[in-house]
Amino acid sequence: MKKIIYFIVGMLLLTSCEDFLDSSNKTKKDSSNFPQTEADVSQLLTGIYAILGRPEPLGSLFFVSELMSDDRLGGGGPDDKSCKAIDQFKKSSEDMFNNPWRAMYFGVYRSNYLLANLDNVVWNSEESKNKILGETHFLRAYFYFDLARMFGEVPMVLEPEPVNIPKTPANQLYAQIASDLKNAIEMLPSVKFQDIDRAKDLGRVTKWAAEALMARVFLFYTGYYRTEALPLADGGQVTKAEVTDWIVDCVENSGHDLLPDFRNLWAYSYVQDYKYTADNNLSWAGDGSVETVFSIKYSALSNDWNSPQQKSNQICLYSGFREQNFTKTFPFGQGWGMGTVNPKIYNDWDPNDVRRGASVLDVRNTDEVADFDFGGGNQQDNTCYFQKKYIPINVWTDETKTKVYNFSHELYGMEGTDYQRDNIQDLILIRFSDVLLMAAELGAPNAQQYLDRVRSRAGLGSVPATLENIKAERRFELAFEGIRYYDLLRWHDEDQITANQTGIVTYNRRGMANAETTNIAFRPETGGFLPIPQTQIDLSGGVLTQNAGWEGSDNYLN
C-alpha cells in the first residue's frame, strides 16, 4: 500500500537532507552513518531550533492567537485579507494555515530523527547526552503543543518514517506532550540563570523552561478538556500537585526574577530620545534578561531571504505603522499595521497601572506620536491604539535628527537597511511573571505572595489570590504576548471574545471625522480551533478530516 506523507507535504524527507543534514559530503551522509559524534547531534539540534522562527506571522501561534483574542483586530491594508479572516474566525483560502502545519511537522520530524538515530553516537559525557536529549524532548513537545492548540486533534508521529494516519485523540496527544516534558525536566541540569554559559547556551531550553511549559500544558489541557490530571504515554498521569511542585521549583530555584521596572522589558526603552523613556528614566534590559525563561532568538549575522527560516522578528514588522513619516512617529517604525488594539482593554485598564502606558500607545497623544497620518497605507481597523511590546523601534541616524533607522543598526552594527528584516529582538515565549501567575493559579503555597509580586511591580496593591483576580492580572500583565486567547479557551470564557468586540469604534483614512463600528463574534462550533489545510487532507486521501465548523466554502472572507 502506498504511504502518503501528508503531514510533511510529500517532500519533507528530501528537503530535510538539504536543510539540516547539510555537509561538504552530502552524498555519503545519511542515517546509517550520521550522527556519530556529539558535534553531529548538536548540528541536528540546531536544525530543530531553527524551526521555531519558521512560520510567518499569520501562521504563527503567537500572532494568530493575538488576532483571535478580544484584545486586537485584524488591521492591515485593504488587500490584507488573511489578518481580517483570522480576526473574524473565517477563512481567506483553503490552505491559509498550511505554512504553520508544515513548519511544526518539520520540527517534529527533525526531533524524531535525532531521537531515533543515537545508537552509534560517541558522547563526551552522560551529562551532555542528557542535556541534548532533554532539549529535544522539550522541542518536540513544544511543536505538538502548538499544533494541538491551533488545530485540536492532529496526527501524532513519533518516528521519522512516512505514515498516513488519522487524527490522534487529544488524551493520547497530550500524554506524549507531557511525557516529553517530563523527560526534559528529569534530563536537563538544574543550572541557575546566572550560571548559564551565555556564549553557548543563551536561548537554549532549560529545566526551568520545561517546568514552566509543563504548567502551561497542564492548565490548558485540564481546563479546556475539563479533566483533573494530565495523562502520560505509559498510562500514568501528571497530577496538579506534581505540576505545582515543578512550577514552585522554577520560581524558587531557577534564578529567574522580575525586572524591577516592567517597562525595561521592551525595546522602546532603549531609545533615550523617546520622551516616555526619558521621562521615566528607562533603560532596556536587552535580550535574554533575567525575566526571560524561553524565547525565540534572531540574528543580525544571517538576516536574509535565502532561507525558509525567519531571520528577523516578523511579529514586529507586521505590527508596525503603515506608510507614515517616520521622523514624526519616532521611535515607532514601519510595518503592515496589523493587530490594532481593541479600545476595550485600554478602557478596562486601571490608569494607575504602569503597564497600561508601557503596553499601549495612542496615536492621538503627541507625547507618543508627534503626527500620525490616518491615510497612511489605507490603514484598516484603526482604533488609534497600537501595542508597544513588539513594534519596530527606530533611532536617529545622526545628530541632525532628520533620518531614522531601526535600532538594531546602532546596537549590533548592522550594515544596510531593510525595514522588513531589521527587527531582531527576541520574541519572548515564557516570561517569569507568567510563571508566578501560573503558580498562583495552581494554588502554590505562596500563591498570594506570587500574585503580589506581579502587582507590586505594576504599582498596584494586594488583592486576594482568587481565580478571578488572577484572570484579570494575566490579561494586563501578559497583554499582546500570545497568551490571552488560549487563556479564554481553557477557562471557557469564550463569550468574552464576542462581548468585548461588540461596537468597536474604528476610523478610516479620513481620521476622526469618519467613525465606523466593528463587531466580531467567536464561532463556538469551531471549538476555537483552526481549519486543517485542504492540501493535507487531499494528500492523506481523506484519512485526515476537516475540523468541525470549517467544512465547505461558506466561511471564506468576502
The pLDDT of residue 361 is 97
Query: Could you give the C-alpha distances from 2 to 59, 433, 539, 540, in angstroms and in order?
Result: 30, 50, 12, 11
Q: Model confidence at 304, in pLDDT bands (50, 70, 90)?
A: low
CA 29 – CA 468 distance, rounded (Å): 56
Q: What pLDDT was estimated at residue 421?
A: 87
pLDDT tens profile 505-539 = 998 766 666 788 999 999 999 999 999 999 999 99
C-alpha cell at 403: 533620518
When pLDDT is averaged across residues 249-275 and rounded to a whole number, the result is: 98
Neighbours of 5 (CB within 10 A): 19
Extract the C-alpha cell encoding 336: 503592515
What mean pLDDT comes out for the span 551-555? 80
Average pLDDT over residues 129-138: 97
Cell, residue 140? 518536540
Judge if the upstream peptide bond of residue 392 is cis by omega within 30 degrees of 0: no
Over residues 172-182, the pLDDT tens digits come to: 999 999 999 99
Write down the domain spans for the chain: 262-429
Q: What is the average pLDDT score of the chain? A: 91
Residues 534, 95: contact at Cβ < 8 Å? yes
Per the structure block, which three cell numbers stand in for 537? 487532507
What would the 3-class secondary structure string for 283-304 be? Answer: CCCCCCCCCEEEEECCCCCCCC
Place of cell 533611532: 395
Q: Is the pLDDT of residue 50 over 70?
A: yes
Lowest mean pLDDT among 18-32, 453-467, 488-502: 18-32
* 222 in Cβ contact with 239 (< 8 Å): no
Where is pLDDT greater, at 306 or 524? Answer: 524
pLDDT band at 307 (very low <50, low <70, confident <90, very high): low
Q: What is the mean pLDDT of residues 535-544?
A: 95
pLDDT band at 107 (very low <50, low <70, confident <90, very high): very high
Q: At residue 185, does pLDDT exceed 70?
A: yes
Per-residue confidence (pLDDT) for residue 301, from 0 to 100: 63
Q: What is the pLDDT of residues 379-411, one digit of tens each?
A: 999 999 999 999 999 999 999 999 999 999 998
| pLDDT at residue 553 tops 50 | yes
The 3-state DSSP class for residue 503 equals coil
Residues 6+ apart with CB under 8 A from 460: 350, 352, 353
Rounded CA separation 133/38 (Å):
11
Averaged pLDDT for residues 448-465? 98
Confidence of residue 14 (pLDDT cuts 50, 70, 90): very low
Rounded percentage of the chain residues whose pLDDT exceeds 70: 92
Nearest to 199 by CA among 124, 264, 288: 288
pLDDT of 305 above 80: no
For the cut 50, the answer to whether the pLDDT of residue 132 exceeds it is yes
Q: What is the mean pLDDT of the segment spanning 14-24? A: 35
Q: What local confidence, expressed as pLDDT, does residue 105 receive? A: 97
As a whole number of angstroms, the distance between CA 552 and CA 554 comes to 6
Q: Which cell numbers hold the place of 212?
A: 514552566
Query: In this predicted model, what pLDDT tens digit does every residue of 191-229 receive, in sequence order?
Result: 999 999 988 888 899 999 999 999 999 999 999 999 999
